[in-house]
Chains A and B, each alone.
Chain A
């Protein structure tokens, strides 16, 4: 079974530009989560999509947005990039392991560098 895939692996942008990150979940998983992991820090929740709908959003400005496609893949867009957006962006998909209980499986991440 293929795992969660993310592209690109690395992305270098300049301040003010836009970045688009992509994620394909494990086959059969309908939920996708996005996290930001700045260097040396823990994971900060960004967005949760399920069945094409945004279910929850973390404490990030509106220039962080995304969507989920009918095939459950997802895109994260970051507009007006700032230097502090430099981080590892992790995508996870989830499966239900019990009633209302979900386990997340993480992709390899996209390393975004803003110069």
Chain B
């Protein structure tokens, strides 16, 4: 079965710092999604990455995809408290979406 692993699972970072969340997956796919989930809420789509080398940026978040390494990264620049949430990556195999375990991010003032 396809595995999607994220690390770290928990991340506590100070405001203004940079950090990267990693998403590794175990099968060939060129469709990778990033979602944000606030506590008690549903998932919000952040990025859709559809090819090797794809890079997308929105505000302080930047996502990239390396299909050869089966790796996607979500880079956070100069974190702010509003970014505190759980972040999920998901791989689409064409038949099913497989979600990672999630990274719970807490940004400390």
A-to-B contact residues, CB < 8 Å:
33, 35, 41-45, 48, 55-56, 58-59, 90, 92, 97-98, 100-109
Contact = CB atoms under 8 A, between A and B. Distances in A.
A33 B45 CA distance: 15
A101 B50 contact: yes
Interface residues of B, number: 23
Contacts of A104: 33, 45, 97
B22 interface: no
Contacts of B41: 108
Nearest to B44: A106
Contact of B102 (A42, A44, A56, A107): A42
Nearest to B99: A43
Contacts of A107: 42
B48 A97 contact: yes
A42 B88 contact: yes
A58 B33 CA distance: 19
Contacts, number: 50
A102 B88 CA distance: 17
Contacts of A58: 96
Contacts of A41: 101-102
30 contacts: A33-B97, A42-B99, A42-B102, A43-B43, A43-B88, A43-B99, A44-B99, A45-B96, A45-B99, A56-B95, A58-B96, A59-B1, A90-B42, A90-B43, A92-B43, A97-B48, A98-B50, A100-B94, A101-B31, A101-B92, A102-B92, A103-B33, A103-B45, A103-B48, A104-B45, A104-B97, A106-B35, A106-B44, A107-B42, A109-B42
Nearest to B45: A103
Nearest to A41: B101
Contacts of A97: 48
Nearest to A55: B95
Nearest to A104: B97
Interface in B33-92: 33, 35, 41-45, 48, 50, 88, 90, 92
